[in-house]
Structure 1
Amino acid sequence: MDSNYTRPFRLPTDYKYILKWTQAFAHHTSLVFRNGQKAFLDNNCSYSNCYFTNDKSLLIDLRNFDAILFDVENNWDSHPPGRSSHQKYIFKASESAAHYPVCSRFYDNYYNWTWTYKLDSDIRWSYVTILDKEDNVVGPKINMTWMSPMGSTPDIVKKKLVKKRRAVAWFVSNCQTKERRVIADNLAESLDKYKLKVDIYGWCGNRTCPRNRLEDCLDLLQKTYYFYLSFENSWAEDYVTEKIFHPLLHYTVPVVYGGADYTRFLPPGSYIDAGKLNSDEVASLISTAIKDRHVYEEYFRWHNHYVYKESPPKADICELCRRLNTEEKQSTVGNFRKWWNPRYKEICRRGPHFTDLKFY
């Protein structure tokens, strides 16, 4: 690495320049990644002197950029020909490690920082923030400590549950007879013993709720359904998407299935983990809760202690800029491939691996 670098005279020298290296960013519609300084200013970041660009010729030399951002979806497009010791190479991923494993040993000790959904990332790409009743951020995190015992479900929450009349909903935009569909079908068979049904919305069901009217769909969920199938389309550590938070925020109990340790994300007693129970056991819990209003209300005791909010873009953006301004220590992620996906050897041997189910 070359430790000698200078700023070109035509641009402010006190900015932190972030080069979006891979093609994924060229097509990224999120305002989080728009070029320039505006994202940091608009989010009132404590450090706002950061500047996004996908123009590789903006500075005289690629080694002049303070950070180079690589997206997992196009991580292997190409590599910068040179690297300065002051630079931070950042691995960014919001997609699952199971679908985008990193197979080449070239990337071990390549990245300085990680910006992903994994809870031990340097910068978190998060769908949700958990707050206590004093508005302090308390999670999600690896070692989550939940309130115990929890108080009884608030009356205002109980009132939102009284008009529910259907057992289970599942919103799915594209499905095939794969693992998650089999789990759902088995559950449907088990529920049939109790004369309960899984209502499937989307291409593989007979009910409709357009994706462009998501709020209407969630309103339907809140008013009508006791439970919702929150099945992730990928089995990966910490990979938890809006699929579990949509029901949680709309007074419906999530039936989860995925590779995450859900105790890091959800209060105890607020969900059913279909990955740890067979379909008959899940169906029995659902039937019992529907028959006994008090049992069902117990799933919502967490409302006494916690608030879930969608994570704003500023949480990620501001942390990125803060780090670029305050952290000078240079280190790399040693066994990066294993950190990103502990099962990378198995997955990489199988070749390209893509999602077979897409949910919303």
Structure 2
Amino acid sequence: MSCSAYRWTSLRPFLFGSLVVLCFIGLFITYRSDIKYPNYCPAFLCADKAQTQKIQTAAVDAENEIIVLFWLWPFDIKYELHCNITRCHLTYDKTLYQKAHGVMFHHWEIHGNLDNFPKMPRPSFQKWLWFNMEPPSKLRQIPGVNNIFNLTCNYRRDSNIQVPYGYLLPVTSEDESFKLPAKDKLVCWIVTNWSEQLKRVQYYNELKKYIKIHVYGKAFGQRISIEEYPKILSSCKFYLSFENSIYEDYITEKFYKPLIMGTVPITLGPPKQTYEEYAPADSFIHVDDFSSPQKLAERLLYLDQNNTEYMQFFNWRSMYKAQESEFVSEQACQTCKYLQDHKEYQAVNDLISWYWG
């Protein structure tokens, strides 16, 4: 055997082994390029993890739009989403999860074991929002919701993103001047839920002894249509804006609808001072201002005979108009605005104590 032949024969195992190793590395790199590593990045393949996260966050911040994703449809209804705030993209499209800056979870649809939450890890720039407009008495407590959310979106003033059921806006030159609707009833009440244990039912049962109250709704066996509702409400001088649950800041459409339709709300719910955070003190009557339902009835009967004093309840209409919040779009829009202004890390560590405590 020649010297060159001997050398080739002796090198063949080494070259063959090297070729196998190179093939393996090539296959591994090709395979790895198709794998997503949301939380794990081997040191020999990736740069420093903290540096990588900084790069990812910077890329997200540079995007043109803030994406707000509804992970769960509120009450299983796919509401129409729209927002007049620039750089806001509202969506139900779960394929945008990895790009979404905020993901909203409506409490009513959350499973007790959280099995309808995303299975993918949360991107470092993304915030999860607990979203709910119902009072604590109507919601079940889910222990798993503690230490999982970054923000709250709720009617309460101490929520990260507060969205009340309605609000007052300044009157513009385009708005028509206020005209009081014709009135042929003194006091009205439209109600669906009825329970003798509710404070509002107890108050009504006493008030009706001293004044006639026109009642409508399922609770009284007289259902009304959507078309009938505004006609009835606007035809009454006063409306019983009684909340079925009395909790901090819980002021619902029962207060705002009469304001919109030219009727004076009689409120039973949070303290009067809370209502005054949302509307002028002379735009409504609060039951706490009277020592008894009888005294309230006497005041209403007096106002029925004194139109000048009654009309003072509408002085605010020269400056403001009332408007209801648009459910879902309003919450998503305000969330988007908040995410535009707040990039810092935030967490809700004890949601249950905050809302149900």
- TM-score scaled by structure 1? 0.69
In structure 2, what is the Cα distance between the partners aligned to 1:306 and 1:25?
Answer: 31
CA displacement at 1:102 relative to structure 2 = 4.1
Contact 1:70 1:90 in 2 (8 A): yes
- Structure possessing the higher relative contact order (Cα contacts under 8 Å, 6 or more residues apart): 1
Query: What is the one-letter code of the residue matched to 2:310?
Result: Y
Contact 1:174 1:202 in 2 (8 A): no
Secondary structure (helix, strand or coil) at the match of 1:175 reads coil
In structure 2, what is the Cα distance between the partners aligned to 1:51 and 1:230?
Answer: 33
Instruction: Point out 4+ residue stretches in structure 1 off by more than 6 angstroms.
Output: none
Name the structure 1 match of 2:70. 20
Secondary structure (helix, strand or coil) at the match of 1:337 reads helix
Q: Deviations over 1:169-190 (max 9, x none)?
A: 111134233322221111101x
Aligned residues: CA RMSD: 3.2
Paired residues for 1:67-146 under 5 Å: 67-75=102-110, 76=112, 77-78=114-115, 79-80=117-118, 82-100=121-139, 102=141, 104=143, 106-133=144-171
Aligned pair 1:229/2:240, yes or no? yes
In structure 1, what is the Cα distance between the partners aligned to 2:80 and 2:142?
Answer: 30
In structure 1, what is the Cα distance between the partners aligned to 2:188 and 2:90?
Answer: 44
Name the structure 1 match of 2:346. 331
CA displacement at 1:316 relative to structure 2 = 3.7
Contact 2:67 2:336 in 1 (8 A): no
Aligned residues: 291
Moved more, 315-324 or 274-283: 315-324
Name the structure 2 match of 1:311. 325
Query: What is the one-letter code of the residue matched to 1:300?
Result: F
1:317–1:198 CA distance, 2 compared to 1 (3 A): same
Contact 2:152 2:159 in 1 (8 A): yes
Contact 1:289 1:295 in 2 (8 A): yes
Q: Deviations over 1:181-200 (max 9, x none)?
A: 221111101x2xxxx30111
Q: Deviations over 1:247-266 (max 9, x none)?
A: 11222111111236211122
1:217–1:312 CA distance, 2 compared to 1 (3 A): closer
1:88–1:164 CA distance, 2 compared to 1 (3 A): same
Work out which of the residue numbers 294, 297, 305 in structure 2 matches 1:280: 294
Secondary structure (helix, strand or coil) at the match of 1:167 reads strand
Query: What is the one-letter code of the residue matched to 1:284?
Result: E
Q: Which runs of no fewer than 5 residues in structure 2 stay unpaired?
A: 1-37, 40-49, 58-62
- TM-score scaled by structure 2? 0.70
